[in-house]
Amino acid sequence: MAENTVTLLGVGDVGPLHEPMSAYSELAKPVLAAADIRFGQVERVYSDSGLLQVHSGGSHSRVKPHMASVFTDCGFDVVSLASNHAMDWGEDALLDTVALLRDKGMHVIGAGKNLREAREPAIVEKNGVKVAFLAYCSILNAGYAAAHDKTGIAPLRAHTYYEPFDYQAGVPPRVVTVPYEEDLAGLIEDVTAAKKAADVVVLSLHWGIHFIPRLIADYQVTIANAAFKAGADLILGHHAHTPKAIGVHQGKVCFYSLSNFIMSSIAKSPEKAAVFEKRYGVTLDPDYPHLSYGADAKRSLIAKAVIANDGVKRVSFLPVLIDKRLRPEVLRRGDVRFDEAVRFMEWVSEDFDHNFKIEGDEVLVTCSK
């Protein structure tokens, strides 16, 4: 790689529940090792402390500290703790996780002992190029957001309204989502400041509607456009546990969901599986009992960006398929699974401006206009 460029690889959710940890990265590690900067999303907290919050998503969100070895195994340089589960066990468990990952040499973004710390960027310099990373979460239970004097997550919340569009009784309403003004203003302020301190700004956003592949909330598009207008150069989205659209806005690329990367979950009982499938309109894959987020949860991708002092020069993605041992496998051109993965990404991206071109084992992303 030329001296004045860096290669960034970004992945989605990481946080397996089942050991051994060392096995998960076996297939992807050589690919990740070739990058200058590696980014991942932290989906659990790693602590022996804390109290389970009454409205948390469940006890699965806290795991033993030694299980954070999955992040060092992958060689992550920057990780985001801005997730919907990061405060499930309260402030102590979150701060334990921040300290643990920093002790392992990683930059931690999106969470902290107060709002200022949660919104603080990580600025990574490699080969003379400075890249700023910021992280926010739109999926927050009450009390999870950081405040002036309160530990928590960098918030980017949205209001939800239900708008009738037909005079007939019983017709489903249109769902309207609008970002909180104060949260969006904070993001714009942070992006503007980070752009002055670095060559490129990368946003990590934990947002959207989980499990349903093609469904994008309108607040996400609003935020993406506002962030790019403020100076952000690339958006890495996650939370949905399935790949979602890749859209080009203002000439810049937004990955609405990178899906799972290294995850495992508690297997659902037949009763819970039936409720899940009815609620979300997706099916579960019986071959993946511990990836119980829907049949498309095994699909994944790695975002790749080549970055220089004057901006992002090239954006692409590497199609990934998670195997039955829950190891992400980077697919290669010529593999029928590679072609199927590209077709899937075309399908989920239909409503967004994009153009995909296969170059080697990568899929180049540009605007179609």
SS3 letters for the chain?
A: CCCCEEEEEEEEEEECCCCCHHHCCCCCHHHHHCCCEEEEEECCEECCCCCCCCCCCCHHHEECHHHHHHHHHHCCCEEECCCCCCCCCHHHHHHHHHHHHHHCCCEEECEECCHHHHCCCEEEEECCEEEEEEEEECCCCCCCECECCECEECECCEEEEEECCCCCCCCCCEEEEEECHHHHHHHHHHHHHHHHHCCEEEEEEECCCCCCCCCCCHHHHHHHHHHHHHCCCEEEEECCCCECCEEEECCEEEECCECEEEECCCCCCHHHHHHHHHHHCCCCCCCCCCCCCCHHHHEEEEEEEEEECCEEEEEEEEEEEECCCCCEEECCCCCHHHHHHHHHHHHHCCCCCCEEEEECCEEEEECCC
Q: Is the pLDDT of residue 297 over 50?
A: yes
pLDDT (mean) for 267-274? 96
pLDDT for residue 3: 62
Q: Is the pLDDT of residue 57 over 80?
A: no
For the chain, what is the mean pLDDT?
Answer: 97
**Model-wide pTM > 0.85:** yes
pLDDT (mean) for 63-88? 98
pLDDT (mean) for 339-352? 98
pLDDT (mean) for 72-97? 98
Quick: pLDDT tens for 142-200.
Answer: 999 999 999 999 999 999 999 998 989 999 999 999 999 999 999 999 999 999 999 99
pLDDT (mean) for 314-319? 98
pLDDT (mean) for 210-223? 97
Q: Is the pLDDT of residue 78 over 80?
A: yes
Q: Is the pLDDT of residue 342 over 90?
A: yes
Q: Is the pLDDT of residue 1 over 70?
A: no
